[in-house]
């Protein structure tokens, strides 16, 4: 698993926002627990999943109780079973009660993305197609979700509008055509970002290749057309399939010979993994 972005600052930003949102002026219910008491807890997975979000979970507790201790029996990227104990917590009782929901929210949500990603990765095993994410992420949690995609064995597309150029239909129309749009992108002279162009027909594909495109997105093409695109391409550019990809269709798409398959559902249509935190005050 690789992820090139420094995550420490992002984890801190996410956790501070989550705690501020939940605690506000103070956790009133936690005051029912005597001050200064310690508590222990365990997090148990109620279903099979791929774990992701350990750093976010730990940071929630560390922020509220720097003396808290969390011992994990699994790490990000591991497959876990229903009924498996994921970690044990020793913390101030009030801090444990307050951190519980934000900490679980992070792990449940990020593990959901990792789990779905792994299902897609396994579905295309044996082909050379990579499963790729999109910018269709939860606002404010993009890097967290993209990290979770890597935990599931997926690959990150551009992180935002700042680190890659994706020329879509409206850009092509504004520029006056595929070749013109590509030339404008090349003229920017940005060697630190990739340039990708979206095509909807085989004629547009041929034009993009003739114009020097090295990464091409095949937008909502059927499988027969994508096979023709692969034959026309002859390895000159990376071909990415996109649009309406589902778990039951992804294998056939991969078998057309495309290099990448981008899937928005990895990050936008997720169902939180069911986790339980059981704690006992000492």
Q: What is the pLDDT of residue 72?
A: 98
Confidence of residue 190 (pLDDT cuts 50, 70, 90): confident
**Is the pLDDT at 252 greater than 60, yes or no?**
yes
SS3 string, the chain, reads CCCCCCCHHHHHHHHHHHHHHHHCCCCCHHHHCCCCCEEEEEEEECCCEECCCHHHHHHHHHHHCCCCEEEECCCCCCEECCCCEEEEEEEEHHHHHHHHHHHHHHHHHHHHHHHHHHHHHHHCECECCEEECCCCCCCCCHHHHHHHHHHCCCECCCCCCCCEEEECHHHHHHHCCHHHHHHHHHHCCCCCCEEEEEECCHHHHHHHHHCCCCEEEEECCCHHHHHHHHHHHCCCCEEEEECCCCCCCHHHHHCCCCCEEECCHHHHCCCCCCEEEEEEEC
Q: What does the buried/exposed string (b/e) look like for 108-125 if buried means 16 or more CB atoms within 10 Å of the residue's CB?
A: bbbbbbbbbbbebbebbe
Over residues 84-111, the pLDDT tens digits come to 999 999 999 999 999 999 999 999 999 9
- Measure the CA–CA gap between 79 and 273, rounded to whole angstroms: 12
Q: What's the whole-number mean pLDDT along residues 137-158?
A: 96
- Higher-confidence residue of 193 and 141: namely 141
- Catalytic residue from among 101, 119, 236, 268: 101
**Is the pLDDT at 159 greater than 80, yes or no?**
yes
- Measure the CA–CA gap between 163 and 142, rounded to whole angstroms: 14
Q: What is the pLDDT of residue 191?
A: 82
- Higher-confidence residue of 221 and 35: namely 221
Q: What is the pLDDT of residue 33?
A: 85
**Is the pLDDT at 44 greater than 60, yes or no?**
yes
Q: Which domains does the chain have, with CATH numbers?
A: 8-121+270-281 (3.90.1170.20), 123-268 (3.20.20.70)
- Higher-confidence residue of 189 and 177: namely 177
219 as an active site residue: the answer is yes
**Is the pLDDT at 230 greater than 90, yes or no?**
yes
101 as an active site residue: the answer is yes
- Catalytic residue from among 136, 142, 236, 251: 136
Confidence of residue 15 (pLDDT cuts 50, 70, 90): very high
Q: What does the buried/exposed string (b/e) look like for 237-251 if buried means 16 or more CB atoms within 10 Å of the residue's CB?
A: bbbbbbeebeeeebb
Q: How many residues are given for the chain? A: 282
Q: Is the whole model's pTM more than 0.75, yes or no? A: yes
Q: What is the pLDDT of residue 31?
A: 85
- Catalytic residue from among 219, 255, 274, 281: 219
Return the half-sphere exposure (C-beta side, CA atoms, 13 A cut-off) of residue 195: 20
Q: What's the whole-number mean pLDDT along residues 48-52?
A: 98
**Is the pLDDT at 282 greater than 70, yes or no?**
no
Confidence of residue 119 (pLDDT cuts 50, 70, 90): very high
Over residues 62-91, the pLDDT tens digits come to 999 999 999 999 999 999 999 999 999 999
Q: What's the whole-number mean pLDDT along residues 144-159?
A: 96
- Catalytic residue from among 46, 75, 81, 168: 168
For the chain, give the percent of residues with pLDDT over 90. 88
198 as an active site residue: the answer is yes
- Catalytic residue from among 65, 198, 240, 259: 198
């Amino acid at each position: 698993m690789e992820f090139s972005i420094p995550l420490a600052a992002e984890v801190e930003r996410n956790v501070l926002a989550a705690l501020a949102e939940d605690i506000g002026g103070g956790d009133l219910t936690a005051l029912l627990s005597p001050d200064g008491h310690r508590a222990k807890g365990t997090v148990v997975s109620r279903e099979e999943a791929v774990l992701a979000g350990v750093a976010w979970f730990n940071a929630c507790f560390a922020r509220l109780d720097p003396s808290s201790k969390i011992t994990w029996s699994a790490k990000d990227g591991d497959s876990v079973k229903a009924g498996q104990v994921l970690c044990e917590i020793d913390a101030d009782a009030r801090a444990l009660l307050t951190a519980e929901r934000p900490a679980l929210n992070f792990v449940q949500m990020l593990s959901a993305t990792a789990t779905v990603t792994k299902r897609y990765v396994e579905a295309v095993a044996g082909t050379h197609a990579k499963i790729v994410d999109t910018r269709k992420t939860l606002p404010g949690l993009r890097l967290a979700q993209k990290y979770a995609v890597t935990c599931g064995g997926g690959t990150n597309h551009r992180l935002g509008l700042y680190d890659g150029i994706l020329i879509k239909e409206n850009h092509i129309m504004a520029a006056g055509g595929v070749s013109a749009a590509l030339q404008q992108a090349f003229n920017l002279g940005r060697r630190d970002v990739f340039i990708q162009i979206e095509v909807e027909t085989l004629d547009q594909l041929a034009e993009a290749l003739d114009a020097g495109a090295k990464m091409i997105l095949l937008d909502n093409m059927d499988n027969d057309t994508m096979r023709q695109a692969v034959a026309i391409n002859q390895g000159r550019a990376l071909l990415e399939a996109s649009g309406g990809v589902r778990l039951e269709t992804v294998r056939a798409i991969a078998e057309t010979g495309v290099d990448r398959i981008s899937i928005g559902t990895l990050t936008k249509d997720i169902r939180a993994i069911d986790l339980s935190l059981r704690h006992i005050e000492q």
